[in-house]
Structure 1
């Protein structure tokens, strides 16, 4: 999978966390962001890029010592599309597919990410999308290089939703166990509920 890359999208503002940074919430003995980055690195892609917002030294410090390329999305406040654009622009030309991973999804494993990466077929370049066990679409989502120009045209905070919809007939679903492809944690209450059922 040396010609694939992972974009770890970690430039969100945590607005619903009431002053806390969700990406710095503890996952065992380390922050969520570092734990997610380590998970990405174990998935087997040739390159992992973390997209961060400007002026977040604590997030940058959380990634210290990891073999991960850090890209700052200067316009991250404009929405997720800005983070996607920054990540895609940072990729070298030989990358044939990029897996977009949201940093606030704590249940995805390196095996889950590898499953979506391995679903990519360079002879049939299409979107590969992680789904819940019951088929509900979720994350992560892999985009072939032929769609990079369209990712660079995205705008706003809906991420790549419009592009995924346009490519609906050319998408491969990759079922992942349970609800791992759907679980994200956006509020202190989300975290509290999740921690009740998970031993860190």
Structure 2
């Protein structure tokens, strides 16, 4: 099929494959840091070059959550599910923490490359490619995913994760407004 791609991703080094798999595995929890506000989820859609709603990857695929670019020795992983309201420090720390844990543990890349948006694949095609993770549809669900992900909680520390979730909930309550326009106005003023 034209959708098939190499499953082992031989163009990636072993550590790159491990890093990629770990980030994809934990992406639903990491969204608490990369997509931290209610407004973040307005852009998490399939078919709009925002990375889509599935934990997937592809070479030069703008519809994948992680776009792999560059060549050997200059490889880049572009995480397309990071929003402008994210703290770059927390987003990067969480992504690097998950990825380096994957390298340390030598996890194997289970998710195959997609050449189209994962949403365009049938359920069978997604399953064949190992695409099972889906990004949360809200900041509330991202926080729930974070609290349920024991690996990410261990990497970042239980105390930090608990405090982050509390502050993120307080931020959401503060940002809540009577209308989407009023919420956007608060967001623009704050960021």
Report the TM-score when normalising by structure 2: 0.32
Give the number of the structure whose alpha-carbon radius of gyration is greater.
2
Higher relative contact order (CA 8 A, sep 6+): 2
Choose between structure 1 and 2: higher strand proportion. 1
